[in-house]
Amino acid sequence: MHADLAGLTADPGVPKPDPLLVVDGVTRAFGGLVAVHVEHLEIQRGAITALIGPNGAGKSTLFNVLSGFDRADAGRWTFDGAPVTGRSAHRLARRGLVRTFQLTKTLGRLSVLENMKLAATGQRGERLVAGLLPPLWLGQERAIEQRADELLERFRLAHMRDEYAGTLSGGQRKLLEMARALMVRPTMVLLDEPMAGVNPALTQSLLSHITDLRDEGMTVCFVEHDMDVVMGISDWVVCMAEGEVVAEGPPRAVAQNPAVIDAYLGRHHDEPGTEYDDG
């Protein structure tokens, strides 16, 4: 486990020694359905945190809200000490918080390189600035392309650089999605099911990319259904059910937490070991 997290009590909402993202009272409802209601949640800087929970628990909705792709009905959150409630995805990315999507957002009719460059737009130069200061813009274009090429190399996509993104395999799209997120040199990435639907060999490669990010000092929070993956790379695990955080703690402890078992089995199951009177 991440050294800083050792010895923390494993209660929902437990304060972390050095939280990067702090969430308070965040609620998002769709009609009558409260998809997310998180009282308090802190994500430790420099650690890998897994967000688990059964289908419909609110994981993606929480990611959407915190990353500026959806709005909260109530609540507030801070990133790196600054209030960022309701900030757009674009502004959050500029502050260093980015997310990836379960279904990748690559544009099939643009090249892989163009997809990468698009992920960097708006970071430092907008068109207006480009018009006023062409030499600066050109320098920036070159820097963006260089960054894109470094990342394509790192994610073993360099040979696909000039191909249409639509020709990539599902697994390669996941790699491109992760590479795109890194274009803005974020301090924190929210990865929504980065390994879903990917073959075992590529899963291993994605896993090592994720641990590399942490080892370089980045903060990673990812949604995942595969418990082997969660156990293998997480420093900390947060479990949601019916919109709420029902448990958090080190991976092994969370896996055995009755609230987590309950969340996965449903609220109305019999306790393990219950004896049935069928007479």
Ligand X SMILES: Nc1ncnc2c1ncn2[C@@H]1O[C@H](COP(=O)(O)OP(=O)(O)OP(=O)(O)O)[C@@H](O)[C@H]1O
When asked if residue 55 is in the footprint of ligand X (CB under 6 A), the reply is yes
When asked if residue 57 is in the footprint of ligand X (CB under 6 A), the reply is yes
What CA–CA distances, in Å, run from 164 to 106, 145, 238? 10, 17, 37
Q: Which stretch binds ligand X (CB under 6 A): 53-61, 136-144, 175-183, 231-239?
A: 53-61
Angle at CA of residue 147, ends 144 and 148, nearest 5°: 85
| Binding residues with ligand X: total (CB under 6 A) | 11
- For 23, the enclosing helix (H) or strand (E) is strand 19-30
CB contact at 8 A, 172 and 144 = no
User: Closest CB to ligand X among 56 and 122?
Assistant: 56
When asked if residue 67 is in the footprint of ligand X (CB under 6 A), the reply is no
Instruction: Choose which of 44, 49, 60, 106 interacts with ligand X (CB under 6 A).
Output: 60
Minimum separation from the CB atom of position 61 to ligand X (A): 3
Q: What is the rounded distance in angstroms from the CA atom of residue 188 to the CA atom of residue 46? A: 8
Q: Which two tokens stand for residue 176?
A: 């491109």
Q: Which stretch binds ligand X (CB under 6 A): 30-38, 92-100, 136-144, 253-261?
A: 30-38
Unique residue bearing structure tokens 């090249």: 111
Q: What is the rounded distance in angstroms from the CA atom of residue 44 to the CA atom of residue 248? A: 12
Within residues 205-234, the interface with ligand X by CB under 6 A covers none
Q: What is the rounded distance in angstroms from the CA atom of residue 192 to the CA atom of residue 48? A: 13
Minimum separation from the CB atom of position 266 to ligand X (A): 15
- How many CA within 13 A on the CB side of residue 266? 3
User: Closest CB to ligand X among 60 and 85?
Assistant: 60
Minimum separation from the CB atom of position 69 to ligand X (A): 11
Minimum separation from the CB atom of position 40 to ligand X (A): 19
Instruction: Choose which of 46, 58, 186, 249 interacts with ligand X (CB under 6 A).
Output: 58
Q: What is the rounded distance in angstroms from the CA atom of residue 35 to the CA atom of residue 244? A: 9
Minimum separation from the CB atom of position 224 to ligand X (A): 9
Q: Which stretch binds ligand X (CB under 6 A): 5-13, 59-67, 150-158, 259-267?
A: 59-67
User: Closest CB to ligand X among 70 and 149?
Assistant: 70
Q: What is the rounded distance in angstroms from the CA atom of residue 192 to the CA atom of residue 185? A: 18
When asked if residue 17 is in the footprint of ligand X (CB under 6 A), the reply is no
Select from 247, 105, 257, 234 the least CA-distant residue to 179: 105
Q: What is the rounded distance in angstroms from the CA atom of residue 17 to the CA atom of residue 32? A: 36
- For 211, the enclosing helix (H) or strand (E) is helix 200-215
User: Closest CB to ligand X among 35 and 191?
Assistant: 35
Minimum separation from the CB atom of position 245 to ligand X (A): 12
Contact positions vs ligand X (CB under 6 A): 30, 33, 35, 53, 55-61
